[in-house]
Amino acid sequence: MTDTAAELDLDGALAETRVEELLTTLDTELVGLVPVKTRIREIAALLLIEKLRAQAALSAGPPSLHMSFTGNPGTGKTTVALRMAEILHRLGYVRKGHLVAVTRDDLVGQYIGHTAPKTKEVLKRAMGGVLFIDEAYFLYRPENERDYGQEAIEILLQVMENQRDDLVVILAGYKDRMERFFGSNPGMSSRIAHHVDFPDYAPDELEAIAGLMLGSMQYRLSADAERAFADYIARRRSQPNFANARSIRNALDRARLRQANRLVARRGSTLSRDDLMTIEADDILASRVFDEDADEARARVGS
Amino acid sequence: MRLTQGTFSFLPDLTDDQIRAQIEYCLEQGWAMSIEYTDDPHPRNTYWEMHGNPMFDLHDAAGVMVELVDARATFPRHYIKVNAFDSTKGIESLRLSFIVHRPDPEPGFTLERHEVEGRHIRYTVRAYATDRPQGERYP
């Protein structure tokens, strides 16, 4: 094969896999997450080059693509895993590109002899796609030496090693607990090629996420509501149990409730399409987060 | 004597790639797969033993192939078949069932003539293999 042929192929392969388009939607639809996006681009590039190398009869064997996603709740681990499955499918690394999301309960049995068939069934379902194990550290319970989780881990390791071209395993969870999990399961850690960390979102990123969510639900914030929401985010972030994008989604869902309630209370007057779409500052300021000084907040946004 | 039962029975034995392609087709149709084995080759023996649980919601043939490799290792001297079950209302039965592994050699069947009253003859087919107890039929 000549060099020129290989040069021509790169554009061809890119167009053929249509992966560029997928990466672009990833950039527009996922806010922030720069390290994650960089890593996904790197993996996509590697697989693409691997394809071309195969065409040029250069072989390095398929790379290992088992991953671990660590990050706080609501940072988009599951969403990215879904996209990952699609990207790997487009690049021909996995054959079907579906995602099977499981937790400890789906893998570990309740009595002796229950775990192996259960784990194997899940693995078989995931073959050809991506197996996403959420909160993977629950698999390992050091305080109970007879815990069946260890058995599930062993089966998992075996399949991760021997059937690399049949499925990709993604382990996800909070960073510190995942690190402890890998610390006590070095076999698992060494079989995972990509450790991807999901950073927390900055306030302006959370606002952008809210904008995307509202857009997809065909709502919008009034100018006052936007200021109120920025305030909401600042307050909510400092409170306990803040779950990044998930908290934003919940906040918006509650704002929708209040908006609906407000509109129903206006019985008698006619509602415009605009009314149905707009969330006002009051819908947001009624939140528990503003409890202590709601009046002060109201004064600040001028409503 | 080569046993001919189920789909593709008059074709030469399928290779693993061909088996994989057939399973792929079944999964595309949304059928549930299962693997069964027996050492009683009689054609009226419809109840073979299950190897593992039936496999639902698979997306890729690799899952079934794993089980098949396991079944062959466990029962190298048994017949093994792959079944595809269609749960569609009104069908609810096997759509496809084919032998993927067979013992070697296969001694085949004998035809027994049973003389009854008036010199009538009744015929019975009996597998040589079943002369021996289960598990020792194909040495």
What is chain B's mean pLDDT, rounded?
Answer: 93
From A159, which residue of chain B is nearest by alpha-carbon distance? B66
Nearest CA in chain B to A121: B55
**Gyration radius of chain A's alpha carbons:** 24
Q: Is the pLDDT of residue A40 over 60?
A: yes
The pLDDT score that the predictor gives to residue A56 is 83
Pick from A98, A117, A125: which is nearest to B63 by CB? A125
In this complex, do B59 and A123 lie within 8 Å of one another by their Cβ atoms? no
* Most distant CA atoms of chain A, gap in Å: 77
Tens digit of pLDDT for each residue in B92-121?
999 999 999 999 889 999 999 999 999 999
**């706080």: which residue's tokens?**
A72
C-alpha–C-alpha distance, residues B136 and A84, integer Å: 50
CA distance B90 to chain A (A): 26
Instruction: Give the residue, A303 or A214, on which the prediction is more confident.
Output: A214
| Residues in chain B, total | 139
Is residue B63 less than 8 Å (CB to CB) from chain A?
yes
Given this model, what pLDDT does residue B10 score? 93
Measured between beta carbons, the chain A residues lying within 8 angstroms of B55 are: 121, 124
Instruction: Give the pLDDT mean for A102-108.
Output: 94
H/E stretch holding A177 reads helix A175-184
* Amino acid (one-letter) located at A290: F
Beta pairing, strands B32-38 & B79-86:
antiparallel
A165-200 exposure pattern, b = at least 16 Cβ within 10 A, e = fewer: ebbbbbbbbbeeebbebbeebeebbebbebbbebee
Residue-wise pLDDT for B74-83, tens only, equals 999 999 999 9
List CB contacts (< 8 A) between B26 and chain A.
none
pLDDT band of A141, cuts 50, 70, 90: confident
Contact yes or no for B99/B79 (Cβ under 8 A):
yes
Residue A35 CA to its chain's centroid (Å) = 13
Contact state of B63 with A163 under an 8 Å Cβ cutoff: no
pLDDT at A294: 56
Among candidate residues A179, A178, A290, the one with its CA nearest the CA of residue A232: A290
User: Is the CB of B60 less than 8 angstroms away from the CB of A128?
Assistant: yes
CB-count burial class (<10 Å; 0-12, 13-18, 19+) for A245: buried
Calculate how close chain B gets to A107, using CA atoms only, in Å: 16
Return the closest-CA partner of residue A174 out of A286, A73, A278, A46.
A73
pLDDT value of residue A1 = 45
The pLDDT tens digits for A199-254 are 999 999 999 999 999 999 999 999 999 999 999 999 988 888 899 999 999 999 99
Residues B62, A96: C-beta atoms closer than 8 Å: no
Per-residue DSSP letter, B55: B
Average pLDDT over residues A46-60: 83
Q: Answer whether B36's CB lies under 8 Å from B51's CB.
A: yes
Q: Are A210 and A49 in contact (CB under 8 A)?
A: no
Q: Which of A56-65, A143-152, A245-254 has the lowest mean pLDDT?
A: A56-65
Name the pLDDT band for B69 (thresholds 50, 70, 90): very high
Does residue A45 have a pLDDT over 60? Answer: yes
CA pair distance B116, A252, nearest whole angstrom: 86
Please report residues of A whose CB lies closer than 8 A to that of B67. Answer: 124
Contact A116, A156 (CB under 8 A): no
Strand residues in A107-167 grouped as ranges (E): 130-134
Q: What distances in angstroms separate CA A243 from CA A215, A251, A285, B71, one per listed residue?
A: 21, 11, 20, 47
Residues 6+ positions from A258 with CB-CB distance below 8 Å: A282, A283, A286
Residue A300: pLDDT band (50, 70, 90) is low
CA A103, A106, A111, A113 torsion: positive or negative? negative
Average pLDDT over residues B36-50: 93
Backbone torsions φ then ψ of A61, nearest 5 degrees: 75, 155
Of chain B, the end-to-end C-alpha distance in Å amounts to 16
Closest to A93 in 3D by CA, of A56, A60, A46, A57: A46
Query: Of the candidates B52, B57, B61, which has its C-beta nearest A125's C-beta?
Result: B57
- At A295, is the pLDDT very low, low, confident or very high (cuts 50, 70, 90)? low
- What does pLDDT average to over chain A? 87
Q: Return the residue in B26, B66, B69 with the most chain A beta carbons within 10 A, the one to mutate for interface testing.
A: B66
Determine, for residues B60 and A123 on separate chains, whether the beta-carbon distance falls below 8 Å: no
The count of other CB atoms within 10 Å of the CB of residue A205 is 17
Q: What is the pLDDT of residues A63-93, one digit of tens each?
A: 889 999 999 988 989 989 998 898 899 888 8
